Structure 1
């Protein structure tokens, strides 16, 4: 897959000459709803013998549109641009346009957007979710786009995907992750939620308990899970290892401690400080508990380890 980064106004020689089917969306998480958009776009591309292109943004539009000072809305993501690209590549996207969403880009009127980012990208068909907008919500949406196209391209609007009568969405997925409900989040994603981080030195207390951990610092824009104990996998180099993970404050050792992410890697004794690792989050085992003694904590960690091993046997 070819990745093309764009800043408005872009140079036309950046754009390949091939006619394409163009999938539009922010695609945070590339969840099951997004996957339906991309599958439909892939099907249309194959029917018309065209390449499949997708367009996303380097950050959420709310970064530009939200005027509240210090607001962080839109800055905690399910997927980085790098992760989006990997998922889209797996779904058959040939070209991924990553547009720098700026105030200048946002000032385009609907016809300018169509001319620059649909016609300009040689799109013969456009596919997007039913709620996609490209300007004022009342006049630049998936109902008005077929009219505004004026026959220059076809438009396919994809209905919402539902799970247990709840619409699959990035917002709900983020909420579940923040709450620690990784099981529900993964149902919406259609794959295990994945994060990336750097292994740093911690207090080394886990080693004294018989459960050495890798302490992880994630990117500031990466959404992180709510407090709890989880079944996970960690990728070190090219190898994935089974693991159990703790997101919490280590309350057994005192109150008011900062939240940390610690990974106990099963059947692993290597040194990993300074490694950039990936973590897949599969299942929440339990919440964080304040045990009466260190011995009680160790006993529970042994139960957690066995439950983790049992999970992967069933998986």
Structure 2
């Protein structure tokens, strides 16, 4: 997949001369609704014998319009992961635009002339709620007028789950609530996060459940506090286990949130490893136990549930 990184104003020398069907969107998470847009664009590109291109952005457009704090700074898919997802969906070319104040200042007609036409678009495809400027003047309904017959426009209808719109907003809310099962269903795949294994308090090994402490990037979403089944990728190998997002408040109050994973039947030194976590299923919420013994009893139950879960996954 070819990735063309663009900073406004566009240098036309960056753009290949061949025509494309262009799918447009920020595509945070590349969820099932986004996938429907890209699949439709792929179908059109195949029928027209042209390449499938995607126009997307290197950071959230909201950054240009208002201060972002806390969860607003997090992504369901960082630019690198988004590119990986687009590649898997068969995209041939990505125009990765840096969304700046100067870029945002373009009027809709300027955006169309400066970018969509310059990309040699034969058909522009986006979701029904996609905008490319101010919401009242930059809708998909108005795009054909700006196109002025130079390219076709196709709008993809709303994709729903449980009769509700599938959206990045819904997925973020599910993640915050610790409902990784719903998040995965809306994404259409198992959510992944990244990190590096660092030293923790080493308390897990003293109670028979050593953990890999995963230091995660601040700009990636994590499921809310709770215990989950997951897999950890080390190098090219995936290891199943159970993972906790929590404060370990059995051992004290007001502790920081940590991400700690116990791998099933793993022996080795993981310190310093860059890893991926694939989040599968929520087992339970966080519980404050009266003693370490009570925690150990619960961890044994969690281990049994985790082994049963992955045995079922293997059987399916």
SS of corresponding position for 1:125: strand
Are the counterparts in 2 of residues 61 and 74 from structure 1 also a CA contact under 8 Å? no
Distance of 2:208 and 2:71 partners within structure 1: 40
Other-structure match for 2:7: 7
Other-structure match for 1:19: 19
Say yes or no: does 1:250 pair with 2:248.
yes
Other-structure match for 2:171: 173
Other-structure match for 1:149: 147
What is the correspondence of 1:125-274 to structure 2 with a 5 Å cutoff? 125-274=123-272
Distance of 1:107 and 1:146 partners within structure 2: 21
Distance of 1:155 and 1:314 partners within structure 2: 45
Distance of 2:306 and 2:71 partners within structure 1: 34
Given the two structures, how large is their TM-score scaled by the length of structure 1?
0.97
Q: How many residues align?
A: 313
1:285 to 277, 280, 283: 283
Q: What are the superposed Cα offsets for residues 261-295 of structure 1, whole Å, 9 maximum, x if unpaired?
A: 00111111111111110010010000000112211
Q: What are the superposed Cα offsets for residues 219-251 of structure 1, whole Å, 9 maximum, x if unpaired?
A: 111112100000000100000010110000001
Other-structure match for 1:53: 53
- The worse-fitting range, judged by mean Cα deviation, of 268-277 and 37-46 is 268-277
SS of corresponding position for 1:120: coil
Other-structure match for 2:32: 32
SS of corresponding position for 1:26: coil
Other-structure match for 1:124: 122
Are the counterparts in 2 of residues 59 and 75 from structure 1 also a CA contact under 8 Å? no
SS of corresponding position for 2:73: coil
Distance of 2:156 and 2:163 partners within structure 1: 17
| Moved beyond 2 Å, runs of 4+ | 70-74
Query: Deviation of residue 74 (structure 1)?
Result: 3.9
Decide whether aligned partners of structure 1 residues 228 and 77 sit closer, same or farther in structure 2, where only a CA change above 3 A counts: same
Are the counterparts in 2 of residues 60 and 74 from structure 1 also a CA contact under 8 Å? no
SS of corresponding position for 2:17: coil
Are the counterparts in 2 of residues 235 and 278 from structure 1 also a CA contact under 8 Å? yes
- The worse-fitting range, judged by mean Cα deviation, of 6-15 and 123-132 is 6-15
Q: What are the superposed Cα offsets for residues 94-150 of structure 1, whole Å, 9 maximum, x if unpaired?
A: 011111111011011111110122111111001101011111111111010012211
- Structure 1 gaps of 5+ residues are none
Distance of 1:267 and 1:33 partners within structure 2: 38
SS of corresponding position for 2:271: coil
Given the two structures, how large is their TM-score scaled by the length of structure 2?
0.97
- Structure 2 gaps of 5+ residues are none
Query: Deviation of residue 72 (structure 1)?
Result: 4.8
Distance of 1:200 and 1:115 partners within structure 2: 50
SS of corresponding position for 2:197: strand
Decide whether aligned partners of structure 1 residues 60 and 200 sit closer, same or farther in structure 2, where only a CA change above 3 A counts: same
Q: CA RMSD in A?
A: 1.0
Distance of 1:209 and 1:259 partners within structure 2: 20
Decide whether aligned partners of structure 1 residues 311 and 73 sit closer, same or farther in structure 2, where only a CA change above 3 A counts: closer
Distance of 2:69 and 2:260 partners within structure 1: 28
Distance of 2:89 and 2:306 partners within structure 1: 30
Are the counterparts in 1 of residues 10 and 115 from structure 2 also a CA contact under 8 Å? no
Say yes or no: does 1:302 pair with 2:300.
yes
